[in-house]
């Protein structure tokens, strides 16, 4: 199958309407503001209608023409959304930042401060002591400060840059899927990324997810490309390593996932250069890793993640259950509870919760991800059936290690922390679409029924925990 059939997209749209009605009737006193229903329907209908239409129309395009259209369409959609949200947030909150902004405004203020320090020659004397060796979250403010030096603190232009990076991300996802599964599947993946509501949403807010996903996708694309051909050499390996290192400055577990993935693929790679130089590569990787991780603050950061793996989740969820306007049932969440849902979660908030305007705004985006989970499961089934896991090890290794760490963390059901794995899930979903047949398509209806029950249950959980 080289396109997404209407059978799947129509059923997804119909179920979304049915869920909105059912949840609205069940929890009539908790109806969302009309604007969130409108935006949710735009997210869902826009994604599923055009994912069918474009995957059917664009299959005949040459690779060059497809990439051009993919980038241009992605950029136009994202720039329109950036302008819309800039003025929408300003009218709703008084500032061009999302509802109950926290990290976004913090990043903006830090970037402005860092820019001023740099221009005044105080970067070393003031910023480095402020960081004090904790580099995990410094990459984005530093990047943003450079942009602010060029555009005089313009929030709007900074978000247009996000739109450009997100459009390139769509191209990289196409290339990853193409390199792994062929041209037709690559085009499906590229179009899913083009229309994926969560990618579009994060272009309109001042957090690091768009840039982080860009780096993750570039890392996977370059590593996957060079490890699948015979042109890998020391220079290209260094570029891959530098991309992996850059992820530590955005999120520690991303850097860990990238290096674990690279190490795993190097060990099992069929690349001739890797085979003939395996011992050198492994030794180089170990030396580099020791130098990077044990040399200072980064090692402390990793140690904190490891030492807190058994307590941070329980403590955080317990705290959430006890705070004002928190969910008293949150304390029952554990890695065992979250694990079965990690490929599908998070689930849409379809009821009115005053402190969760952002979640209501993108409830349609969550639903899109939930539905794509079906195609991911199909892909993983065929990976096992056709015994091709080793062939696509870079995708599987990154997926397993990142989701494994995330499952045991306090951010297990936070979409922001799921975002870096979305490029891999999109590639797998596209592969799942390509393997659709009459037999496995029958499971789609059952999957949607189970998904509907989970979503209704999730919204009950959000209400019950607050009563």
Check whether 306 has a pLDDT greater than 60. no
What band does 417 get if pLDDT is binned at 50, 70 and 90?
Answer: confident
Confidence (pLDDT) at 281:
59
C-alpha to C-alpha distance for 285 and 287, rounded to whole angstroms: 6
Q: What is the pLDDT of residues 349-402, one digit of tens each?
A: 999 998 899 999 999 999 999 999 999 999 999 999 999 988 898 999 999 888
Closest C-alpha to 113, from 98, 97, 100, 131: 131
The most distant pair of C-alpha atoms in the chain lies apart, rounded to whole Å, by 67
Between the alpha carbon of residue 72 and those of residues 85, 166, 174, 422, the distances in Å are: 20, 11, 14, 21
For residues 237-260, give the mean pLDDT: 86
Range of weakest confidence among 46-55, 397-406, 453-462: 397-406
Question: pLDDT at position 314, please?
Answer: 42
Q: Which residue has the higher pLDDT, 403 or 158?
A: 158
Contact status, residue 360 vs residue 353, Cβ threshold 8 Å? yes
Residue 351 φ then ψ, to 5°: -130, 165
Q: Which residue shows structure tokens 């069940």?
A: 26
Residue 316 has pLDDT above 50, yes or no: no
The set of residues, in sequence order, having a beta carbon less than 8 Å from that of 368 and lying 6+ positions away, is 43, 44, 47, 48, 196, 197, 198
Q: Phi, psi (5° rounding) for residue 405?
A: -65, -45
Locate the DSSP E strands across 75-186.
none
Residues 6 or more apart whose Cβ sits within 8 Å of residue 192: 51, 173, 372, 426, 429, 430
The sign of the torsion formed by the CA atoms of 409, 415, 421, 424 equals positive
Report pLDDT for 440.
87
Please give the Cα distance from 245 to 56 (Å, whole number). 39
Report whether pLDDT(453) > 60: yes
pLDDT in tens, 188-221: 999 999 999 999 999 999 999 999 999 999 999 9
DSSP 8-class letter at 31: P
**pLDDT reported for residue 69:** 97
The answer to whether residue 148 scores a pLDDT higher than 90 is yes
How far apart are the two ends of the chain, measured CA to CA in Å? 48
| pLDDT tens-digit series, residues 65-120 | 999 999 999 999 999 999 999 999 999 999 999 998 889 999 999 999 999 999 99
* pLDDT tier for residue 232 given thresholds of 50, 70 and 90: low
- Looking at the predicted structure, is the pLDDT value of residue 409 above 80? no
Cβ-contact 176, 219 below 8 angstroms: no
What pLDDT does residue 427 have? 98
Arithmetic mean of pLDDT, 293-315: 46
Q: What share of the chain is helix, strand, coil (3-state, %, to 5)?
A: 80, 0, 20
Q: What is the pLDDT of residue 305?
A: 47
pLDDT at 40: 97
Question: 256 falls in which pLDDT band (50, 70, 90)?
Answer: confident
Angle between helices 278-293 and 234-248 (to 10 degrees): 30
pLDDT of residue 25: 94
- % of the chain residues with pLDDT over 70: 83
Higher pLDDT, 43 or 312: 43
Which uninterrupted H or E stretch holds 252? helix 252-268
Mean pLDDT of the region 245-249: 89
260 Cβ contact list (under 8 Å, min separation 6)? 397, 401
Higher pLDDT, 352 or 345: 352
Degrees, nearest 5: CA angle 334-303-239: 105
Residues 6 or more apart from 169 whose CB is under 8 A from it? Answer: 193, 199, 210, 213, 214, 217, 423
Is the pLDDT confidence value at 297 over 90?
no
Rounded Cα distance between 36 and 357, Å, is: 9
Instruction: Tell me the backbone φ, ψ of residue 37, rounded to 5 degrees.
Output: -65, -40
pLDDT in tens, 2-50: 999 999 999 999 999 999 999 999 999 899 999 999 999 999 999 999 9
pLDDT at 325 over 90: no
């Amino acid at each position: 199958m080289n396109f997404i059939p209407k059978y799947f997209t129509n059923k997804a749209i119909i179920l979304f309407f049915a869920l909105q009605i059912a949840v609205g009737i069940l929890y009539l006193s908790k109806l969302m503001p009309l604007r969130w229903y409108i935006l949710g329907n735009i997210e869902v209908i826009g994604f599923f209608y055009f994912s069918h239409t474009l995957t059917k129309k664009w299959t005949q395009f040459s690779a060059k023409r497809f990439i051009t259209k993919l980038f241009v369409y992605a950029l136009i959609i994202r720039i329109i959304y950036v302008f819309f949200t800039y003025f929408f947030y300003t009218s709703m909150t008084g500032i061009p930042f999302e509802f109950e902004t926290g990290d976004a405004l913090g990043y903006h203020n830090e970037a402005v401060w860092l820019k001023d320090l740099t221009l005044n020659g105080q970067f070393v004397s003031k910023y480095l002591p402020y960081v004090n060796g904790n580099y995990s979250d410094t990459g984005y403010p530093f990047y943003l400060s450079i942009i602010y030096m060029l555009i005089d603190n313009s929030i709007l232009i900074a978000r247009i840059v996000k739109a450009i990076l997100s459009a390139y991300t769509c191209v990289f996802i196409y290339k990853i899927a193409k390199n792994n599964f062929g041209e037709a599947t690559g085009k499906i993946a590229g179009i899913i990324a083009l229309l994926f509501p969560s990618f579009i949403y994060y272009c309109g807010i001042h957090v690091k997810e768009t840039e982080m996903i860009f780096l993750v996708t570039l890392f996977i694309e370059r590593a996957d490309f060079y490890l699948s051909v015979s042109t890998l050499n020391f220079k290209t390996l260094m570029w891959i390593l530098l991309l992996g290192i850059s992820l530590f400055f955005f999120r520690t577990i991303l850097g860990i996932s990238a290096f674990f993935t690279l190490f795993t693929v190097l060990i099992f790679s069929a690349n001739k250069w890797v085979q003939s130089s395996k011992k050198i590569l492994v030794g180089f990787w170990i030396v580099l890793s020791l130098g990077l991780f044990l040399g200072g603050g980064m090692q402390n950061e990793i140690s904190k993640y490891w030492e807190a793996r058994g307590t941070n989740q329980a403590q955080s969820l317990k705290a959430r259950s006890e705070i004002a306007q928190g969910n008293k049932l949150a304390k029952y969440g554990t890695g065992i509870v979250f694990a079965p849902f990690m490929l599908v979660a998070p689930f849409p908030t379809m009821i009115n919760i005053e402190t969760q305007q952002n979640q209501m705004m993108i409830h349609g985006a969550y639903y899109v991800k939930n539905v794509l989970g079906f195609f991911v499961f199909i892909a993983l089934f065929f990976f096992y059936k056709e015994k091709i896991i080793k062939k696509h090890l870079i995708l599987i290794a990154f997926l397993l290690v990142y989701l494994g760490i995330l499952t045991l963390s306090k951010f297990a059901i936070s979409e922001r922390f799921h975002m870096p794995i979305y490029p891999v899930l999109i590639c797998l979903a596209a592969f799942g679409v390509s393997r659709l047949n009459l037999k496995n398509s029958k499971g789609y209806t059952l999957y949607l029924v189970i998904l509907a029950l989970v979503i209704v249950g999730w919204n009950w959980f959000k209400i019950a925990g607050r009563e």
